[in-house]
Amino acid sequence: MASFIVEFPLKTEKYQEDILNKRFEAGRRIYNSLVNVTQKRYKEMIKTKRYRTLLSSLSESEKSDKEIWKQINDMRKQYSMSEYSFHEDVKQMQRHFKDNIDSFTAQKIATALWKSYDRLFHGNGRKVYYKKYGELNSLEGKSNKTGIRIINDTLVWNGLKIPVFIDYDNHYERQAMQCDICYNRIVRKYVRNKYKFYVQVVFKGNPPVKVDAETGEIKHSIGNGDVGLDIGTRTIAISSQTDVKILELADRVQNIENQKQKILRKMDRSRRATNPDNYNEDGTVKKQGNKKVRWNKSNHYIRYQNELKELYRKQADIRKYQHECLANYIISLGNKVYVEKMNFAGLQKRAKNTEKNDKGKYKKKKRFGKSLANKAPSMLLTIINRKLGYFGEKLTEINTSEAKASQFNHFDGTYTKKTLSQRWNDLNGIKIQRDMYSAFLIMNISDDLKSFDIDKCNGRFENFYRLHNLEVDRLTGKNNLSSIAI
């Protein structure tokens, strides 16, 4: 079922903030208690020879054997490793906090933990972690009928009543409040050295259409036609029948490495001064076996920690805002959006093999971890897919290994391998920027999503080449092609 979220600020008083902070801490304790209980079962289950045998036979059959999957799932249920078993477990824990946490909110805490195990079971996670103090910053209900509710523009939850700031002069918020509410989520954000509280209301259906307040025109409408995206770790090339662009992803996200290093050095000095007994004479941390190392945090340390948290928050907000704006632009170009299937998680990992270059020096093992963390290309694709879903469309991924957009020449149908440093294609004497040409080819993918439609390529190339040259002129200023650092 389609749904959308609108976030509203809460008009909290000091005593209400204290109560909310107490409830977030209660939610964290429930979560960690549940982790403690379920981890014992999980470790017992993975010790069994039968479970290990089933997993190994599953990998041999390339995860296609339904019977093996059925046996694995039955064994997980036998060890109470299921979402409904977690709901039963959390009932006992919730009783100790019933004045603060209602049963439905406790069930959602259990569901959040189950999602972590689900990722672990299907190979997308490595470990289930406990939540540290202050790490749990959202609590949600299951409906607007009980638990966390919105009644007459007021948040009502276990005796707590907090006014919600809703701007009814805003067309979008006014239209949203006329939709049915699925459930509500309370969010705590640390903004400028202070916690601020919000309620995220999850509404049923598609979001209202945004309208320009001055002209009354509809904003962010979807276009008609094919759009090709060639997305990298830092840039994205866009090709459509009306525009061709190559843009840096989230270009307003600054490089904060220098600021981070300064703050981290301050934190390290503070930690060493406050905890001298935890360090050896050579500066390394003392090994204390099974005994947990206790760290005392000074007020200076906490202040530096909050500075670092604020730095990350600003970066995340800027990145999210720019991705939303870029996604709106992309879907305005067309309703059929194609992109190569990318394994961004694989690009983040360091190289495993130790290799030397021609001069005998060791090659660096680092890859694209920081670029992906700063630019978040996968987040952009997720946002585009969500926005297309509002119009009954979806982002289509083409077969990267079969299509080979970066190697193909549609004039003669040949494939030529290129190095990453080779940024320009020479197509029968025509020079074209590599990423923009790849986006053009992706736009003209065949229905099988494995090959390119040559007739479309030939018919659309003249228009593409004209738009391509306009974009090159925009980037270079004076047609100085060598100045494009892409």
Residues 199-231 have pLDDT tens digits of 999 999 889 988 887 777 888 889 999 999 999
Residue with tokens 């672990």: 120
Tokens of 396: 């289509």
pLDDT at 478: 46
Residue pair 36/89 in contact by the 8 Å Cβ criterion? no
Distance CA(226)–CA(426), nearest Å, equals 25
CA angle 474, 476, 481 (to 5 degrees): 125
Under-70 pLDDT residues of the chain: 59-64, 344-348, 350-352, 362-368, 478-486
Looking at residue 481, what DSSP letter applies? G
- What's this model's pTM, rounded to 2 decimal places? 0.85
pLDDT at 348: 64
Task: Quick: pLDDT tens for 308-329.
Answer: 999 999 999 999 999 999 999 9
Distance CA(338)–CA(384), nearest Å, equals 11
